[in-house]
Structures are given as structure tokens and as C-alpha cells.
């Protein structure tokens, strides 16, 4: 077990053992220290949030937004570490989906057509997945397969223990995309993080006035299966992680254009929906990596070190 994996194991054990107010205060203090230190992740978050809020927001207000963003991100980690110790009732109480979204997803599951939900790295996506499973709906998603393998296996066990079926991006017995197609056809909810491409094969889109790439998976799944495609907005309230969904997004007619053009059209619609939600709650967007193509070009390529866990992601 290496030091990174050891740190996660310690987090899961210690954070669950202590009272929530004690843990929350410690994580909040850690976020404030990170803000004062101004390291690479904080600088990338600041640059990303500047894109969201535009050039006119005063620097002092942007600085406060960054501080709140780091506190939100620390809250995500604190709650993720504590999730496995929660009862079903506590999981249901700790996350709220807007009533219209509950009705839509319930109908999609009952009809057997399932639903694809494109998510941002915002609020608490693990709490959302746990809530779906606790509600009694089948849920399948995809997680990037990172090294060390032991860390990936621990995150896999963590999410499976919450009731989610997790597919690896590669190395599974069947391609993840094929399995997701099958699951959708049996009424499964398929949430996929969709605001950042991890493969360098993503679809180029306009996003807050710049160009970036987003995964093709959510659009391609909806086009292949006809399942409804929603875009989620995710944020925190003082007492719960919250979400709403918009859609289903309109899908181009199969005869209107080649598949690749239709995927580009739908992925841009996803980007627009994600941007609308992030703009409403910028402090809860946990994007500490470079997002835009001009950022990557300016630093010689690459996305920089990741401060995020192995995440569920769109499959290309």
C-alpha cells in the first residue's frame, strides 16, 4: 500500500469515527489553509472560476468565491468519507433532487427505458449516486481506472457498497459502452460526469466563451438507445447536497445528419446545460484541473496533477 492509498484508507476510517461537527471544522480549516497557500490546484480553480464569472467581478470578490469553492470541495471529501457509515434513511435525507426530476426519473425507470444524466464535477456526485440506489432505482456508471490499482479497487468497493454498479473505463470483460447500452434497455439510471474529457478524444465545445473538450459518451448513449438525456445542476445547501435536472434534451433525427455531427450537436447542448447550472452555483463547481484548450496550450499541454478521486466519467 503506497502513501496515497494509505491516506485514503485513513480518511475513510478516521472521518467516520469522529463526530460530524468536529470533522467539518477540520476540513473547513484545511480548505482555508489551501486558500492562503495558493498552490497549483487553488490557482487552477481561480482561473476556472474567472471564466465562469467573467472579467468584471472584482478580484476581492473572486478571491472570496475561490475560498468558498475550496470549502465546498473539502465538504465533498468529508461527506464522501462518511457516506459508507450512513443508514439508508440518512442517505435519503442528505441529498435532495428537485421534485420534477424525481418524477421524471421514476417514470423513466418504470417504463424500462432508463435515463442518461450528464453531471458536472459539482456538489456531491457520490451522494447523488447513493441516493439513487437508496431510492430503489438501478444505477450503473463508469469510473476511470487509475493507478495504483489498490486505490482504484478501494474506490470501486466504496461505490459498490453504496449500491452502484461501477464499470471500468477499460480492462473489463466487456466494453463499458456496450454494457451501458444493455443497462439502459432494462430501465437503469446512468449518470456520467460530463464536464471534462479524460481521453483526449472528446468533442470540442464552446463553454463559458472558450473552447474545451467534453466526452462523447452521454450523447452517444442517448442517440444509440433513445433513452432520455438530462443535464444535472448540483450544489450544496447548508443541510444537504442538492440537484435538479433539465431535459430531456432534444435529439436530432437519425436522418438529419451523420452520427458524428449529431453527437457534436448534442454534446454542445450538454455543455450549455452544464454551464447554466455552474453559473448558478459557481462556488460548488469542483474543477481544480485545467479546463480550456488555451490553458493547456499555454502550459505545454496536459491537465496538471489531479486533486480529485477516481471519478465516474463519460465513456467515449
pLDDT at 303: 38
Give the chain's length.
316
**pLDDT tens digit sequence for 77-91:** 899 888 888 899 999
pLDDT at 17: 75
Residue among 120, 112, 168 at smallest CA distance from 140: 168
pLDDT at 152: 59
| Residue with grid cell 474545451, as numbered in its chain | 212
Say which residues have a Cβ less than 8 Å from residue 213's Cβ, sequence separation at least 6.
197, 200, 202, 203, 204, 205, 293
Classify residue 141 as exposed, middle or buried by CB count within 10 Å of its CB (0-12, 13-18, 19+): buried
User: 72: which 3 cell numbers?
Assistant: 465546498
**pLDDT interval class at 295 (50, 70, 90):** confident
Least confident segment among 47-61, 128-142, 159-173, 280-294: 159-173
What mean pLDDT do residues 137-156 have?
73
pLDDT at 219: 97
Q: With 80 as the cut, is the pLDDT of residue 159 above it?
A: no
Percent of the chain at pLDDT above 70? 86
Task: State the Cα–Cα distance between residues 196 and 190, nearest whole angstrom.
Answer: 17
Classify residue 314 as exposed, middle or buried by CB count within 10 Å of its CB (0-12, 13-18, 19+): buried
pLDDT at 301: 42
Residue 69: DSSP 8-state: H
Greater model confidence, 296 or 246: 246
Greater model confidence, 315 or 209: 209
pLDDT at 316: 47
pLDDT at 42: 95
Greater model confidence, 2 or 132: 132
Q: With 50 as the cut, is the pLDDT of residue 45 above it?
A: yes
CB neighbours of residue 36 within 10 Å:
9
**pLDDT tens digit sequence for 179-189:** 999 999 999 99
Q: With 90 as the cut, is the pLDDT of residue 227 above it?
A: yes
Task: State the Cα–Cα distance between residues 73 and 69, nearest whole angstrom.
Answer: 6
Q: With 50 as the cut, is the pLDDT of residue 249 above it?
A: yes
pLDDT at 199: 74
pLDDT at 6: 54
pLDDT at 307: 41
**pLDDT interval class at 53 (50, 70, 90):** very high
**pLDDT interval class at 306 (50, 70, 90):** very low
Q: What is the pTM of this model?
A: 0.89
**pLDDT interval class at 8 (50, 70, 90):** low
DSSP codes, 145-188: -PSSHHHHHHHHHHHHHTT-EEEESSSSSS-HHHHHHHHHTTT-
**pLDDT interval class at 308 (50, 70, 90):** very low
What mean pLDDT do residues 299-306 have?
40
Average pLDDT, the chain: 87
Q: With 80 as the cut, is the pLDDT of residue 304 above it?
A: no
Amino acid at each position: 500500500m503506497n502513501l496515497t492509498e494509505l491516506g485514503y484508507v485513513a480518511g475513510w476510517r478516521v472521518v467516520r469515527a469522529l463526530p460530524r461537527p468536529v470533522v467539518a471544522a477540520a476540513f473547513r480549516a484545511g480548505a482555508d489553509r489551501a486558500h492562503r497557500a495558493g498552490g497549483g490546484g487553488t490557482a487552477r480553480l481561480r482561473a476556472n472560476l474567472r471564466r465562469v464569472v467573467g472579467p468584471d467581478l472584482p478580484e476581492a470578490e473572486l478571491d472570496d468565491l475561490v475560498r468558498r469553492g475550496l470549502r465546498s470541495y473539502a465538504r465533498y471529501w468529508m461527506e464522501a468519507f462518511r457516506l459508507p457509515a450512513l443508514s439508508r434513511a440518512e442517505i435519503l435525507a442528505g441529498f435532495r433532487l428537485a421534485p420534477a426530476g424525481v418524477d421524471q426519473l421514476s417514470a423513466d425507470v418504470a417504463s424500462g427505458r432508463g435515463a442518461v444524466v450528464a453531471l458536472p464535477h459539482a456538489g456531491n456526485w457520490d451522494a447523488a449516486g447513493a441516493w439513487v440506489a437508496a431510492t430503489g432505482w438501478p444505477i450503473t456508471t463508469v469510473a476511470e481506472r487509475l493507478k495504483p490499482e489498490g486505490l482504484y479497487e478501494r474506490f470501486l468497493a466504496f461505490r459498490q457498497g453504496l449500491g452502484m454498479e461501477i464499470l471500468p473505463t477499460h480492462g473489463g470483460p466487456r466494453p463499458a459502452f456496450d454494457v451501458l447500452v444493455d443497462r439502459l434497455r432494462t430501465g437503469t439510471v446512468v449518470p456520467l460526469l460530463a464536464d471534462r474529457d479524460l481521453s483526449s478524444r472528446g468533442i470540442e465545445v464552446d463553454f463559458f466563451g472558450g473552447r474545451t473538450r467534453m466526452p462523447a459518451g452521454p450523447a452517444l448513449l442517448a442517440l444509440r438507445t433513445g433513452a432520455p438525456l438530462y443535464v444535472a445542476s448540483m450544489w450544496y445547501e447548508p443541510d444537504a447536497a442538492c440537484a435538479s435536472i433539465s431535459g430531456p434534451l432534444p435529439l436530432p433525427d437519425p436522418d438529419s445528419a451523420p452520427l458524428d455531427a449529431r453527437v457534436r450537436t448534442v454534446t454542445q447542448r450538454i455543455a450549455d446545460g452544464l454551464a447554466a447550472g455552474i453559473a448558478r452555483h459557481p462556488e460548488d463547481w469542483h474543477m481544480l484541473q485545467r479546463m480550456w484548450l488555451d490553458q493547456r496550450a499555454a502550459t505545454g499541454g496536459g491537465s496538471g496533477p489531479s486533486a480529485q478521486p477516481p471519478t465516474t466519467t463519460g465513456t467515449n
